[in-house]
Amino acid sequence: MTKPHDTAFSSFLKDFAENVGKFHKAANVLAGIRNEDIDVGATPKTLVLRRDKVELFRYEPTAEHTVGTPVLIIYGLIGRYTIADLQSDRSLVRGLLAAGIDLWLIDWGRPGRGERWLTMDDYVDDYIHEAVQRICRATGHDKVTLLGICEGGVFTTCYAALHPEKVKNLVLTVTPIDFHADIDDPSADHGLLNIWTRSLAPEDIDRMVDTLGVIPGEFMGSIFSLMTPMRSLTKYNVDLIDTVGDKDKLMKFLRMEKWLADRPDHPGAAGRQWLKELYQENRLVEGRFALSGRIVDLRAIDVPVLNIFALGDHIIPPTCSKALGGKIGSTDYTEVPLLVGHVGLFVSSKSPGKLTKIIAEWLQARDG
């Protein structure tokens, strides 16, 4: 008679053999894929301006313009803009171009110790301002629409408040405004990054910045991985093996991993402001955040504002983004919550088309 433990062991051997076969298959498939095959941020664009390591690009149009004012995409310093252009069928960039948007982009490049002294003042009042002026000269417009993503949304918000004469519309996606709004959020998992950042001793932040000159990209990458530990543990030995038989899924997986691994260092002085003055001291929403000697007054933003945030966001809690509505001077304020995560807003199989449609229709209604 077969004993139960014999049956269990036989089942284990069978599963083990199947998994070994999958690993061999995965290894063979991956061996045939080159780095250049995993193309992220591949939508054609033209370099218009380079200053230091910062570059301004204009995307090549793919449709007749339906919106007059040019749109400038601004991503943060913590990651790379390529998440908005991950692959052809999951690309906010391609979707907006197809909708007839004149699209521009700032690429911050790869800051190192040489950029250790750059502050948010430099990025907002210097690099962004110069890019806006260049776009205006090139297009004949006196204003631009700003499309900010995550930390880049904070930059664009500050710019709109300090330079309202240069901004036609403001579009924000997964942008933190009230960095302490998560304290009263009933979903504790939404604010893990905020809780961790607030728990840092200010002097430890100073030590890291003074010693390294930057906040290392690898360090921030490890923090984000620790926020979803089970996902981080299983994606290479479960998710990858399960997708290796589907080339489309495999390439999406590899592009995501390429984007995650491509995390530049964050300039030290700007990082000090980001962590201490915003995350810890919450100066922006309290009207105490200053750039270039001027207070960033959110009430000075009186242009149309579209604020899109993710309800499943574990990096920027929805409450931190929603806070913007009651603080600005504009009466034309639109708030759109989407049932996705922070990254899923741009790469989910359902989200890119929806996100593109929301932004394009909103802009066309105000600037068609």
**Residue with structure tokens 């380079």?**
50
Q: Would residue 150 show up in a list of annotated catalytic residues for this protein?
A: yes
Report which DSSP code applies to 293. T
224: amino acid identity, one letter: F
Residue 162, CA distances (Å) to 83, 117, 119, 296 in order: 28, 22, 16, 6
What's phi and psi for 304, nearest 5 deg? -60, 135
Measured between alpha carbons, how far is 208 from 205 in angstroms, rounded to an integer?
5
Cα–Cα distance measured from residue 335 to residue 203, given in angstroms and rounded to the nearest whole number: 37
The DSSP 8-state label assigned to residue 170 in this structure reads E
What interhelical angle do 217-227 and 192-199 show, nearest 10? Answer: 130
For tokens 């997708």, what's the residue? 243
For 279-297, letters b (16+ CB in 10 Å) and e give bbbbbbbeeebebeeeebe
- SS3 state of residue 68: coil
Decide: residue 165, CB within 10 A, 0-12 exposed, 13-18 middle, 19+ buried: exposed
Residue that the structure tokens 């948007």 belong to = 101
Q: Residue 66 in 3-state DSSP?
A: coil
Which two structure tokens, joined as six digits, stand for 184?
Answer: 């009263």
> How is residue 127 written in tokens?
């690099």
| Active site members | 150
